């Protein structure tokens, strides 16, 4: 295992569940991202060796799928849905005002590391358009102001009260 | 010991008796749309208040799947009165309980949306909003798993396929391929270990039918897959779900483990020779993985790049084995077809398109949400009756069906009966069932630009026409929406569209030009206005801002 | 699991499963074909020219560049001949007006994607892409040039890769995986942002898996992969090794 971190045991569990077979690659990357928040080169190498998949294939798969990220995310995440219904109900207005006021584009994190902005192809919450996911919670019928207000609160937080990832704390 | 029909009926009886012991049932929608409006908290508030009042014996509170009218969440329905309340919050709980047996509370009543709830004869969604998706017993009380029993114990595999053929059911994933014909092909494939795969990738950005079915009635899909597996001779199934649908994933996993526990999945189901189990695989954000050969690659842990067909998956699919791939809604239609017969199903719908279709109605329409209508319903009925028309009484402009592979249908076709053929005849497709309404604030060039951006970034990059062609089209549209286009760009758009349609490797590239071709056909004047007058008629494109910035 | 190596999905040509032989026409010539042969191979055996780019004898089938499209009577659209099986009584036309026009447009799209200015390329005169432009009579590119600025990686002691010249045919990826067995190369990203990579998208020179065999360089159709220290005149590619290696290694893999 790359480190002593006990989250690797959870990743190993996923691989074992699939018989450590090459076809477990995507499921395993899902686990790594769920427990560590992103995929770093050491993790990719470890997964490649464990599943006996060529390094280039692992990197190829990790970058083919937009759900995977190779960058550590900010403390908070804001995912703006860009599905058709959200688009025609004003999702681009929300992205535009974030770019203007906060200065980050989709895929970027604020320099203080507080907020990451992402987009989703469609959350399937079209009935609530425009939808935005703020720290994992789907919020419907959003306005630019509502999103900016929330970001403002996040950015003014003193201590980083990051929500721990699954597996990072001992579950009761 | 395996499950017997007596066991199944016993479970159903106990469940029904329990339901009948309640005078009132309060059904709170706990599908993703309403959950995001705090319906989880609402359900707890009802439970607390009912128990505080000591009404547990005659008033039940149940979390149910999607009630359909997602725009007005959280929704609840009160049975047996059939009252629907919209926008309910925890503070309303006492008032609602007080009003039981009396007149509905006008402030919360969905009376104005009556047509929405009443004009939908439901097959696929028959249990949605009525049963608790996290309890297999609730599904069994609605004749759940009876179709599987009938198939396994009373029919030969070929007889199951005959019923599906007789039903005239066509695939709900987009192309509308006859389901029975596909099953026959897989059944006939002689070699190896066969697989059944449920395509729940639902990548169309404006569609949420499959998500809702999985969240509201997951056992129906499992039962449909099991029947299919019996018919084609498969023992292993996969459900490929988008990772963006965590609630659907969780409900499907719960349902599978309940089904295993009870014995409707596993070895020798209902004491027959048939054994079947299902695994869940998560997608990872790639629209092209909805294409069947890409989906297979993805389940095998590889990048989702389609390969040329033939060989078709029915012959050479997962790990090279014969594989049946159907959409979620296709499988969800199977249990009622087996229970009631293919002939019954074939009485619903149009001559060539049988049964009903679930649509995700969204965009500029009052009643956004999930609807199910018989094939052959007109667009006008869908948008103006069930959908309740356009907010602010603005002017209708178009409906978009089929997502990035579909087209924009203008007003002159509102009275067209919707089925696979009619939609294709006006340059769109049925697709998976996203139906987005647009009014006069939507710019058709901007919509085409939006879909082309989608196709460009979702193209897998394998074949040249799709990889480079979508990018070229996107740049042309970009120019036009900024007021920098030339009239000759329109010819170039048509020319590239024709190239992509005819020479791309998979359905993504072949259909990517549809949004452009249909808007050029019906709304050419909007393109011309952007080019010649440097003006966006809908005032959606920021032509002036863009030019000032230059 | 790899992609299907045989288009029929089954093994043919042994005593238990003899392949059928039948007749078909290509460009109005009556020809015989076997059921496991592609239209492209039947055409080539009979001296009928069909242009190809991603296809390479000895490597797995890909069907991606779409230059080998042909008209087949009764088919809804043009079909790529490299992955289309011959059928009894099939009527194929390899040089109809629309096929020629589509091929030219596809080639222009390739030229518009990245920088393929021949005059400054190491492979000038020995380039498959350049030869295709001549053969298909491509005189200009009607599309806007996209030309993103791509990397040049010269970290390997003997070879270098210039992504500006890459056409994403995946010959290097396939030869490295299927013949050399190293699988150093693969492709990252998707769509227009796809790029070939070595290992974890690291400099080629630092690759832990590259054996330095150079097969990728030999199969590369353009100047994307080249040998260092060779003049333009010497930059011919040697591909004779492929058929024999494939024969020796092929059987076991399938
Ligand atoms: C680019 C592309 C995306 C697709 N996406 C989906 C999808 O999200 N869900 C789906 O069921 N089918 C999708 N399909 C269609 C599938 O390839 C396949 O036809 C379908 O799953 C077959 O099921 P059916 O016969 O039940 O419709 C897609 C096809 C293409 C070309």
Establish if A1 belongs to a structural domain.
no
Question: Which band of pLDDT confidence, cut at 50, 70 and 90, is reported for residue B113?
Answer: confident
pLDDT at B144 over 70: yes
The answer to whether residues A134 and A83 belong to one domain is: yes
The answer to whether the Cβ–Cβ distance between A125 and B303 falls below 8 Å is no
Residue A171 lies in a domain: no
- Percentage of chain C beyond pLDDT 90 is 75
- The whole-number pLDDT of residue A172 equals 39
Closest CA to B136 of B219, B239, B30: B219
pLDDT score for B540: 87
Residues A87 and A124 both lie in one domain: yes
Q: Which of B396, B397, B441 is nearest to B536 (CA)?
A: B441
- Give me the pLDDT at residue A164, please: 61
> Residue A171: which pLDDT band, with cuts at 50, 70 and 90?
very low
Structure confidence at residue C10 as a pLDDT band (50, 70, 90) = low
Report how far ligand 1's centroid is from the alpha carbon of B424 (Å).
16
Identify the pLDDT of residue B550. 45
- The answer to whether C81 touches C53, Cβ cutoff 8 Å, is no
Is the same domain home to A50 and A84? no
Residues 6+ apart with CB under 8 A from B105: B85, B92, B95, B96, B99
Q: Is the CB of B173 under 6 A from ligand 1?
A: yes
| B435 pLDDT higher than 50 | yes
Q: Is residue A11 part of a domain?
A: yes
Q: Averaged over B161-180, what is the pLDDT?
A: 95
> Given a cut of 60, is residue C1 above it in pLDDT?
no
Query: Does residue A56 sit in the same domain as residue A86?
Result: no
Q: Does C209 touch chain A (CB under 8 A)?
A: yes
> pLDDT category, B102, cuts 50, 70, 90?
confident
**Boundaries of domain holding A48:** 7-64
Total residue length of chain B: 550
Q: Residue B546 has what pLDDT?
A: 54
Q: Please name the residue that has the structure tokens 């490299």.
A: C82
Shortest CA distance from C177: residue in chain A: A54
User: How confident is the model at residue A170, as a pLDDT?
Assistant: 54
The answer to whether the beta carbons of residues B66 and B215 sit under 8 Å apart is yes
Residue C88: how many other CB atoms lie within 10 Å: 11
Q: What does the block give as tokens for B534?
A: 């440097």
Both A84 and A148 in a single domain? yes
- DSSP string over A51-118: HT--HHHHHHHHHHSTT--SS---SEEEEEE-SHHHHHTTHHHHHHHHHHHT---TT-B-TTS-EEEE
Q: Any idea which residue has 């509502």 for tokens?
A: A146
Q: What is the 3-state secondary structure (H, E, C) of B187-207?
A: HHCCCCCEEEEEEECCCCCCC
Of the candidate ranges B196-200, C190-194, C239-243, the one whose mean pLDDT is the lowest: C239-243
pLDDT digits (tens, 9 = 90+) for C159-187: 999 999 999 999 999 999 999 999 999 99
Say if residue A152 is in the same domain as residue A80.
yes
Find out whether B104 and B96 touch, Cβ atoms under 8 Å.
Answer: no
For B49-95, write each residue's pLDDT tens digit: 999 999 999 999 999 999 888 888 899 999 888 899 999 999 999 99
**Residues A149, A108 share a domain:** yes
Mean pLDDT value across residues B258-266: 96
- When pLDDT is averaged across residues B386-398 and rounded to a whole number, the result is 93
Instruction: Note whether residue A70 is domain-resident.
Output: no
CB-nearest partner of A66 from B205, B281, B285: B285
The average pLDDT across A139-166 equals 81
Query: pLDDT digits over C70-94, tens only?
Result: 999 999 899 999 999 999 999 999 9
- Looking at the structure, do residues A57 and A82 belong to the same domain, yes or no? no
Closest approach of B495 to chain C, Cα-based (Å) = 10
What residues of chain C lie within 8 A of the CB of B452, using their CB? none
Residues of C whose CB is below 8 A from A44:
200
Q: Model confidence at A168, in pLDDT bands (50, 70, 90)?
A: low
Q: Is the pLDDT higher at A161 or at C112?
A: C112
Whether residue A152 is found in the same domain as residue A86: yes
B327 Cα–ligand 1 center, Å? 7
Instruction: Please report which confidence band the pLDDT of residue A16 belongs to, taking 50, 70 and 90 as the band edges.
Output: very high
Q: Is B509 in the pocket of ligand 1 (CB under 6 A)?
A: no
Report the distance separating Cα B332 and Cα B341, nearest Å: 15
Domains of chain B in start order, with CATH, are 21-64+76-109 (3.40.30.10), 136-346 (3.40.50.11540), 356-439 (3.10.20.600), 444-549 (1.20.1440.230)
- Residue ending a domain, among A43, A64, A85, is A64
Percent of chain B with pLDDT over 70: 98
Report the sign of the C-alpha dihedral through residues B288, B289, B290, B293, in that order: positive
Structure tokens belonging to residue B101: 């047996």
Amino acid C248: pLDDT: 66
Among B283, B290, B330, B506, which is best to mutate for testing ligand 1, by the most ligand atoms less than 8 A from CB?
A: B290
Nearest alpha-carbon partner for B191 in B365, B315, B22, B62: B315
**Which residues does residue C58 pair with via DSSP β-bridges, in sequence order?**
none
* Same structural domain, A32 and A83: no
Per the domain annotation, does A71 fall within a domain? no
Q: Is the shortest distance between the CB of B175 and ligand 1 below 6 Å?
A: yes
The domain boundary, picked from A44, A64, A84, lies at A64
Q: Average the pLDDT over B176-194 and give the result.
A: 93
Cα–Cα distance for residue pair C223/A137, rounded to 1 Å: 50
Domains in chain A: how many in total?
A: 2
Among B135-139, B340-344, C244-248, whose mean pLDDT is lowest? C244-248
Residue nearest atom 30 in ligand 1 by C-alpha distance = B291
Q: Is C153 on the interface with A (CB under 8 A)?
A: no
Q: Quick one: A97 and A45 in the same domain?
A: no
Cis previous bond, B309, omega within 30: no
Give chain C's domains with CATH numbers.
21-95 (3.10.20.740), 109-242 (3.30.70.20)
Would you call B438 helix, strand, or coil by DSSP?
strand
Chain A residues close to C208, C-beta within 8 Å: 55
* Closest among B355, B300, B301, B304 to B323, alpha carbons compared: B300
Tell me the pLDDT band of C207, cut-offs 50, 70 and 90. very high
- Using an 8 Å Cβ cutoff, are C107 and C138 in contact? yes
- B218-232 vs B146-154: helix crossing angle, rounded to 10: 10
Could you tell me if C111 lies within 8 Å of chain A, comparing CB atoms?
A: no
What is the predicted ipTM?
Answer: 0.92
Q: What is the pLDDT of residue C253?
A: 43
Smallest Cβ–Cβ distance between A25 and the set B283, B287, B301 belongs to B301
Q: Which of A17, A35, A64 is the last residue of a domain?
A: A64
Q: Who wins on pLDDT, B112 or C122?
A: C122
Q: Compute φ and ψ for C66, nearest 5 degrees.
A: 65, 15
- Asked if C201 lies within 8 A of A59 by C-beta distance, the reply is yes
Here the CATH number for the domain that contains residue A117 is 3.40.30.10
Q: Do A147 and A97 lie in a common domain?
A: yes
């Amino acid at each position: 295992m790359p480190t002593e971190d006990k989250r690797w045991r959870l990743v190993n569990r996923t691989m074992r569940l699939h018989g450590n077979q090459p076809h477990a690659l995507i499921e395993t990357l899902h686990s790594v991202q769920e427990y560590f928040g992103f995929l770093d080169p050491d993790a990719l190498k470890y997964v490649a060796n464990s599943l006996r998949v060529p390094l280039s294939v692992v990197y190829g798969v990790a970058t083919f799928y937009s759900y995977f990220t190779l960058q550590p995310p900010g403390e908070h995440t804001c995912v703006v849905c860009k599905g058709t219904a959200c688009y025609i109900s004003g999702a681009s207005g929300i992205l535009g005002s974030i770019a203007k006021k906060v200065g980050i584009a989709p895929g970027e994190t604020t320099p203080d590391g507080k907020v990451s902005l992402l987009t989703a192809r469609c959350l399937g919450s079209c009935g609530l358009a425009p939808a935005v996911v703020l720290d994992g919670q789907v919020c419907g019928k959003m306005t630019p102001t509502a999103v900016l207000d929330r970001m403002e609160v996040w950015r003014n937080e003193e201590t980083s009260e990051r929500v721990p990832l699954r597996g990072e704390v001992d579950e009761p | 010991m395996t499950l017997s029909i007596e066991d199944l009926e016993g479970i159903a009886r106990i469940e029904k008796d329990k339901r009948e012991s309640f005078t009132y049932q309060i059904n709170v929608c706990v599908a993703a749309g309403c959950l995001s409006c705090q319906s989880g908290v609402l359900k707890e508030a009802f439970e607390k208040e009912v128990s505080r009042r000591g009404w547990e014996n005659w008033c039940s509170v149940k979390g149910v799947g999607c009630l359909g009218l997602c725009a007005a969440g959280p929704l609840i329905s009160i049975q047996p009165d059939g009252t629907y309340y919209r926008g309910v919050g925890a503070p309303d709980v006492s008032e609602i309980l007080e009003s039981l047996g009396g007149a509905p509370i006008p402030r919360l009543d969905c009376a104005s949306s009556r047509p929405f709830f009443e004009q939908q004869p439901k097959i696929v969604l028959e249990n949605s909003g009525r049963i608790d998706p996290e309890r297999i017993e609730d599904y069994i009380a609605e004749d759940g798993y009876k179709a599987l029993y009938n198939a396994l114990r009373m029919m030969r595999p070929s007889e199951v396929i005959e019923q599906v053929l007789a039903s005239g059911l066509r695939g709900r994933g987009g192309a509308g391929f006859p389901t029975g014909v596909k099953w026959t092909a897989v059944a006939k494939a002689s070699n190896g270990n066969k697989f059944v795969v449920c395509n729940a990738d639902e990548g169309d950005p404006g569609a949420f039918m499959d998500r809702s079915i999985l969240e509201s009635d997951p056992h129906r899909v499992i039962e449909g897959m099991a029947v299919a597996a019996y018919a084609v001779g498969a023992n292993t199934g996969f459900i490929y779900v988008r990772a963006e649908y965590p609630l659907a994933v969780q409900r499907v996993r719960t349902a599978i483990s309940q089904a295993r526990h009870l014995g409707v999945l596993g070895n020798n189901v209902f004491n027959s020779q048939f054994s079947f189990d299902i695994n869940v695989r998560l997608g990872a954000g790639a629209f092209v993985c909805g294409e069947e050969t890409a989906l297979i690659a993805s389940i095998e842990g590889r990048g989702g790049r389609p390969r040329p067909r033939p060989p078709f998956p029915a012959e050479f699919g997962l790990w090279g084995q014969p594989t049946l791939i159907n959409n979620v809604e296709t499988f969800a239609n199977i249990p009622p077809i087996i229970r009631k017969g293919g002939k019954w199903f074939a009485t619903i719908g149009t001559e060539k398109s049988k049964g009903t279709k679930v649509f995700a109605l969204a965009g500029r329409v009052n009643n956004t949400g999930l609807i199910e209508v018989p094939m052959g319903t007109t667009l006008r009925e869908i948008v103006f009756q069930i959908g309740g028309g356009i907010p602010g009484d603005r002017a209708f402009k178009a409906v978009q069906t089929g997502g990035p592979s579909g087209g924009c249908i203008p007003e002159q076709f509102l009275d067209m009966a919707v089925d696979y053929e009619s939609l294709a005849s006006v340059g769109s497709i049925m697709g998976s069932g996203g139906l987005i309404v647009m009014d006069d604030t939507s710019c058709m060039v901007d919509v085409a630009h939006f879909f082309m951006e989608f196709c460009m970034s979702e193209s897998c990059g394998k074949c040249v026409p799709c990889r480079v062609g979508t990018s070229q089209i996107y740049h042309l549209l970009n120019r036009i929406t900024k007021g920098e286009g030339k009239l000759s760009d329109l010819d170039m758009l048509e020319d590239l569209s024709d190239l992509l349609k005819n020479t791309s490797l998979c359905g993504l590239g072949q259909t990517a030009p549809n949004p452009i071709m249909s808007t050029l056909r019906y709304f050419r004047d909007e393109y011309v206005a952007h080019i010649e007058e440097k003006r966006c008629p809908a005032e959606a494109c920021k032509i002036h801002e863009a030019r000032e910035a230059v | 699991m790899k992609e299907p190596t045989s288009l029929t999905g089954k093994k043919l040509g042994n005593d238990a499963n003899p392949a059928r032989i039948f007749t078909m026409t290509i460009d109005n010539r009556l020809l015989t074909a076997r059921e496991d042969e592609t239209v492209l191979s039947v055409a080539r055996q009979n001296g009928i020219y069909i242009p190809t780019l991603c296809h390479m004898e000895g490597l797995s089938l890909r069907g991606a560049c779409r230059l080998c499209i042909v008209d087949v009577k009764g088919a809804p659209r043009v079909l790529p001949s490299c992955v289309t099986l011959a059928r009894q009584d099939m009527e194929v036309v390899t040089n109809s007006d629309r096929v020629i026009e589509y091929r030219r447009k596809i080639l222009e799209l390739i030229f518009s994607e990245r920088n393929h200015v021949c005059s400054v390329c190491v492979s000038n005169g020995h380039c498959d892409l350049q030869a295709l432009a001549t053969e298909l009579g491509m005189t200009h590119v009607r599309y806007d040039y996209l030309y993103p600025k791509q990397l040049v990686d010269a970290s390997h002691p003997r070879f270098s890769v210039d992504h500006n010249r890459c056409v994403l045919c995946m010959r290097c990826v396939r030869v490295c995986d299927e013949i050399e067995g190293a699988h150093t190369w693969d492709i990252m990203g998707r769509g227009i942002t796809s790029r070939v990579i070595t290992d974890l998208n690291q400099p080629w020179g630092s690759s832990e898996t590259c054996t330095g065999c150079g097969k990728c360089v030999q199969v590369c159709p353009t100047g994307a992969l080249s040998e260092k220290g060779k003049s333009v005149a010497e930059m011919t590619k040697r591909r004779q090794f492929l058929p024999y290696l494939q024969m020796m290694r092929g059987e076991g893999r399938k």
